[in-house]
Amino acid sequence: MSWQSALACWYLRRQFRPETLKPHINVERARALTSKRVWSPRVPPGWRLRETYGAHDAPLLGEWLEPASTALDGGPAGAATPTVLYCHGGGYYFCSPRTHRSLTFALAPRANARLFSLDYRLAPEHRFPAALDDATAAYRQLLAMGTAPGSIVIAGDSAGGGLALATLVALRDAGAPMPAGGLLFSPWTDLATTGASLRINDSVDPMFCGAAIERAARVYLGDAPATHPYASPVYADLHGLPPLFMMAGSTEVLLDDARRVADNARAAGVDCECEVWKKMPHVWPMFAPFMPEANRALDRAAAFVRRATRRATLAAHAAQASGVTSSV
């Protein structure tokens, strides 16, 4: 554990955890505190940022980060470049693409992938399944633009990690072409809050207390059942999903949200990697480039993006060639 990660844990325990210990969630306060703490890194050299928040940009509301030489129109350059569809965390009720730029701006160049960070609708103004509807619509729009499904990885952190996984499940159920993979940082996948780590890690998680998770779930769910597989994909049938790559910290209250998904995915025949990093705080890749562990985690995540899209592209080419051969 580096001194940088120790400092990050100290900061979170002093600045963030006290908020989660309060008996009620103050949505407006959470949003205000987050907006004040936003530090926006510079756009990486050789890359460009395009914000798409206008009504005419729907359903791709959010922001693009891509190599400056790559077009956004879904043409040949876009189809050849891996694309990450990113869902930010924040309990489904706060944060935004802007709050997560330290992560997305570091991930895209490492993966040599253009990245779209989705500004999905937030609760309580827009409860479940609004976020899921926005994520599936964004994915379908990428396909409509000409982006090959095998070039896409759907990614996210915390609530956004659960949303990314739920999006994969919903797309499979709808018979949509599947993306190359799913990349999940400290995913929140169980809004019914049944994971043992909620209790075991309650006193050692520097960011959350276990009880805060249930309170956040109510903000998003409204009257929807907490075990709905599109809200809590730990309860979903995961067969037929593309490869998954997950990371979680050993002291997180949400650790079991990742470990149980990994167990379920493997039992369903899904290629799934789940890394548990010792004493890392929730979504520690957000601390790039300050924290060495964040940089190493993003290197591994980027390698997965490249590996998954390369594998999916080769499989698509092989299937196409087989189809041509069999028709001759």
The contacts of residue 194 (CB under 8 Å, 6+ apart) are none
In one-letter notation, the amino acid at residue 288 is A
pLDDT, position 323: 73
- Rounded CA gap, 274 and 246, in Å? 5
Residues acting as catalytic residues:
158, 252, 282
List Cα–Cα distances, 254 to 31, 100, 129, 135, in angstroms.
Answer: 22, 19, 21, 22
Q: What is the pLDDT of residue 80?
A: 60
Q: What is the pLDDT of residue 325?
A: 42
Q: Are 202 and 210 in contact (CB under 8 A)?
A: yes
* pTM of the predicted structure, to 2 decimals: 0.94
List the domain boundaries for the chain: 3-327
State residue 221's pLDDT score. Answer: 97
pLDDT of residue 322: 80
Give the per-residue pLDDT at 84.
98
pLDDT at 38: 65
3-327: CATH homologous superfamily?
Answer: Alpha/Beta hydrolase fold, catalytic domain (3.40.50.1820)
Task: Give the residues of the chain that fall short of pLDDT 50.
Answer: 71-79, 324-328
Q: Are strands 47-52 and 62-67 parallel, antiparallel or unpaired?
A: antiparallel
Q: How far is CA 106 from CA 35, 71, 90, 182, in A?
A: 20, 20, 19, 18
